[in-house]
Structure 1
């Protein structure tokens, strides 16, 4: 079996002074065109970044960030805990005494249980909003607070009956 391979070698073109100048002209033209586009975006477009934390981004009203429970209006119905797909809401309540004064939520629903614990583990929360839609008194809401990073997972559990978190009410509930 006789096989012949054809190999053709191409001879390099001779570089003349005219071709050398043409290569330099093309290189300068290409680089200046690219730099023109770059400079147009560097100096011609307004900056899109904000100077965080001095300037904070304004989130839309329907954004789902930190959860807040207005414990004063919570009737302890457990609907939010039942609706939560990841079980991150912990509620403990006991039945009120019959001789205790009658309490009502802001929308008129009677408060029949004493709330002892209302904790949300935001490390588990998936911010789906199911808990806020089933709340009959609308005391559980998503706020526009988005700065609540912590160093440990235990720090991401918020007890909404604690005095420091109840103080958020003045800022959030309007």
Structure 2
């Protein structure tokens, strides 16, 4: 078997003056880079907020926690139908004919009694489709972003539960 030896191209010999030029350019380029870095480190305002003492104000059209104002929900099921991931669970029964007539805040008659309204936020992708089809605008995205959970089961919100209905005073601006 024949061995092929490749000859390395002859490198020019490094002189003392070339060595000092290389050191000079290395120090110069490092100093320029560090100057740019330090300009951004010490020359800018602090952008970090001191959470939770300082809370960030979100835009009014941000899509955070969903809230259903169950008092104004007509149980039309349009939000559940529009949801691409099926994370809204609704159950309603027809109101008795002799029951007193009730209406939503915008005057829409409520013909069904809402028995269950649950949203699984672990599945929700916050697309906003459910809020756009709601005829009474009772289902809305809020600017509430502090709702972390440790378990998936605790990410299901029953909007007929008394503790979640209490959110209404804080969220719904009448």
For the aligned pair, the TM-score class normalised by the smaller chain equals 0.7 to 0.9
The within-5 A match list for 1:19-168 is: 19-168=18-167
> In 2, Cα distance between the equivalents of 1:67 and 1:37?
44
Aligned-residue Cα RMSD (Å) equals 2.1
Structure 1 residues 166, 20: closer, same or farther in 2, change over 3 A?
A: same
**Equivalent position SS for 1:110:** coil
Structure 1 residues 109, 29: closer, same or farther in 2, change over 3 A?
A: same
Gaps of 5+ in 1: none
CA drift at 1:14: 5.2
TM-score (norm 2): 0.87
Partner of 2:7: 7
Q: Number of aligned pairs?
A: 170
> In 2, Cα distance between the equivalents of 1:130 and 1:6?
68
CA drift at 1:29: 2.2
**Equivalent position SS for 1:164:** helix
CA drift at 1:122: 0.8
> In 2, Cα distance between the equivalents of 1:102 and 1:6?
97
> In 1, Cα distance between the equivalents of 2:64 and 2:99?
36
**Equivalent position SS for 1:111:** coil
Gaps of 5+ in 2: none
CA drift at 1:88: 1.0
CA drift at 1:6: 7.6
CA drift at 1:21: 4.2
